[in-house]
Amino acid sequence: MKAQRVSLWLLGAILLLCSVHARGLRRCLISMDMHQIEETFQEIKRAIQAKDTFQNVTILSTSEFLHSIKPLDVCCVTKSLLEFYVDRVFKDHQEVNPQILRKISSIANSFLYMQKALQQCQEQRLCHCGQEATNATRIIHDNYNQLEVRSAAIKSLGELDLFLAWIGKNHQGTSTA
């Protein structure tokens, strides 16, 4: 009898953990080819990053910010950052060079697509924003506000590769590192 009880308890605990973990595993994945976006960015990286004169300041890379986000908050943070870029960075940046502008536009369009994909996850209530996710979003906005708008925008554009790498890492399942 004792053995049976113990086994039942163990089974229940395992099931509970699995459910909890499954909830975390049940992430809202963006099935998108990030590689294409990354390649596009690489083409304009030099032009954009060269304009970044405030080299000792960062917006996205604060204290290993992106690396410290938990898997449960990935969906929320991703959604927030996508809104940040679409609503603030791409609008604030004034690009003169048409070729660079074209590429920035393509990246922006990709971000819009990703936003729509995440919106479906939010309707399914899979994209719950916790406290840590909310705090993380606020920090980014604060960093962005400390700089001049044009410099901030340029800097944020220059850090797109970090954002794209982070998305690829968290939203591609086990296929990416």
Partner 1 sequence: MLPRLVVLLAALLGLRLRSCAHGTELPRPPSVWFEAEFFHHVLHWTPIPNQSESTYYEVELLVYGVEPWKSIPSCSQTLMLSCDLTMVTLDLYHNDGYRAKVRAVDGNQHSNWTSTSTRFSKDEVNLTVGSVKLEMHNGVILGKIQPPRPKMAPEGNTYESIFPHFREYEIAIRKVPEHYKFTNKKVKQENFSFPAPGELGEFCVKVKPSVGSRTNKGIWSEEECIVLSQHYFTMTNLSIFFTFVLLLCGPLAYLLTLQLYMRQRGKLPTVLVFKKPSPFSLINQLPSSETQDTIHPLDEEAFSKVSPELRNSELHGSTDSGFGSAKPSLQTEEPQFLLPVPHPQAGGTLGKGAPLELESSCNSGSSNSTDSGICLQEPSLSLGTGPNWEQQVGSNSQGQDDSGIGLVQNSEMQPGDVQGGSALGHVSPLEPEVTEEEDPAMAAFQGYLKQTRDTEEEAAKAGCLEEESSSTDGLGPQFRTCLDAEEGRPPPALAKGYLKQDPPEMTLDPSGAPAGQWNQLTEEWSLLSLTSGGDLGISDWSFAHDLGPLDCVAAPGSLLGSFDSDLVTLPLISSLHSNE
Residue type, 2: K
Which residue number, 132 or 161, has a Cβ lying nearer to partner 1? 161
Q: Does 35 bind partner 1 (CB under 8 A)?
A: yes
Stretch that binds partner 1, among 2-10, 35-43, 90-98, 116-124 (CB under 8 A): 35-43
Residue type, 161: D
Cα torsion 153, 154, 155, 159: sign = positive
> Out of 69, 140, 168, 170, which residue is the one contacting partner 1 (CB under 8 A)?
168
Give whole-number Cα distances, 166 to 6, 60, 85, 172, in Å: 42, 11, 14, 10
Contacts of 62 (CB under 8 A, 6+ apart): 139, 140, 143
Binding-site size, partner 1 (CB under 8 A):
27
Within 141-160, which residues bind partner 1 (CB under 8 A)?
158-159
Which residue number, 43 or 87, has a Cβ lying nearer to partner 1? 43
Stretch that binds partner 1, among 18-26, 59-67, 69-77, 104-112 (CB under 8 A): 59-67
Output the smallest distance, CB 46 to partner 1, in A. Answer: 5
Contacts of 19 (CB under 8 A, 6+ apart): none
- Residue reference for tokens 């399942």: 173
> Out of 38, 83, 92, 132, which residue is the one contacting partner 1 (CB under 8 A)?
38
Contact between 65 and 139 under an 8 Å Cβ cutoff? The reply is yes
What does the chain come to in residues?
A: 177
* Sites of contact with partner 1 (CB under 8 A): 34-35, 38-39, 42, 45-46, 49-50, 52, 55-58, 60-64, 158-159, 161-162, 168, 175-177
